[in-house]
Amino acid sequence: MFKLDEQKLKNLGAIITTTEIKQQPELWAEAYEIYKANKENIDKFINNINEKHGQFRVIFTGAGTSAYVGNSIVPYLSSKNDMKKCIIESIATTNIVSNPYQYLKEDVPTLLVSFARSGNSPESIAALNLGKQIVKDFYHLAITCAPEGKLAQMTKNDEHNYLLLMPERSNDQGFAMTGSFSCMMLSAMLIFDNLDENEESSYIRTIIEMSNNVIDRKDEIHELINTDFNRVVYLGSGGLGALTQEAQLKLLELTAGKIATVYDSSMGFRHGPKSFIDENTLIFDFVSNNTYTRQYDLDVLEEINGDQISKLTCAISVEGENNFSGKTFGFEKKYSMLPDVYLAFPYILFAQALSLFVSVKVGNKPDTPSPTGTVNRVVKGVIIHEYEK
């Protein structure tokens, strides 16, 4: 797919999605430059909240894929964060809007970090308005891909608001969010991870290198799906476990539900969801680089492989001291020191590519995968009800 000419991709209805997946490593380099240009002002904006109020609350929010940005990075950031300064959480806009009284606290200073591709989803706007309505000391950081979107237009840089725009090409025109997801995730990581410049640039170079390697190995990915199957499972631990929700959603979206999908943590999968496996199931586990956590990822892979109940059991993994005895889509051992939260970038690009290839395999058009039009690029039909405190 990544080497087909333009006309063939157009005939497959896949040119937009293919281009947007493939260009991500370039976009990450752009996003890094945007971050560096804004770093001083963003740091000042966030530190000012702490100086005014002491400890404050940070809520990562979005709907669907945008919500999974926060879910994927909060476990890592929480482990590194100075909790005396701020508490970091991830709460979907869909939860905030439907249950604001459970998630927003009037007397707790709060920074809402909105992730949004277009910034036009009703929930994004409603969550922002509810924050302003309910929280006495309310601040907003919008990380979005569309300068003309409603969210961007509502977020003007001042002492209570900061707008960080992503690279222009990250505003995906295809149905499924790809570059928008990864650029927003990378930008949030850079803002809250507090790395020195050498670490930042090293991690950026590494994820670009690993992800270009995924693109170059398209034939290996095709080989993994060159069989009859109708179910796919994604597993992982910690933040990589949260990332599996985005991985399975890409496949569900691009195949319009023709392939059934499940996601779970490596350990949690045994507690009932393992019943999903049959002889037509492909299983992928995002294996951790953390030597302790890695043991649990490998344990479940070996267990399922030993059960001989799935069509394929495959590790997505960097080579380590201990490795899966079965099928592996692997990366060189030199990447074994990369924190899991940065492994998320080549891992999700793998899942996006697999979803693209499967979409074509089942006869869908990846750029417009919903034949009925009942599922849309920007959600429609949402009624926002007035909330009274």
Q: Are strands 138-144 and 110-116 parallel, antiparallel or unpaired?
A: parallel
**Side chain identity, residue 326:** G
What pLDDT does 194 receive?
85
**Quick check: pTM over 0.75?**
yes
What pLDDT does 77 receive?
95
What size, in residues, is the chain? 389
Give tens-digit pLDDT for 17-43: 999 999 999 999 999 999 999 999 999
Give tens-digit pLDDT for 149-197: 999 999 988 889 999 999 999 999 999 999 999 999 999 999 999 899 9
Low-confidence ranges of the chain (pLDDT < 70): 1, 3, 5, 373-377
Nearest to 110 by CA among 67, 66, 156, 160: 160
What pLDDT does 1 receive?
65
What pLDDT does 373 receive?
67
What pLDDT does 376 receive?
66
What pLDDT does 377 receive?
60
What pLDDT does 360 receive?
95
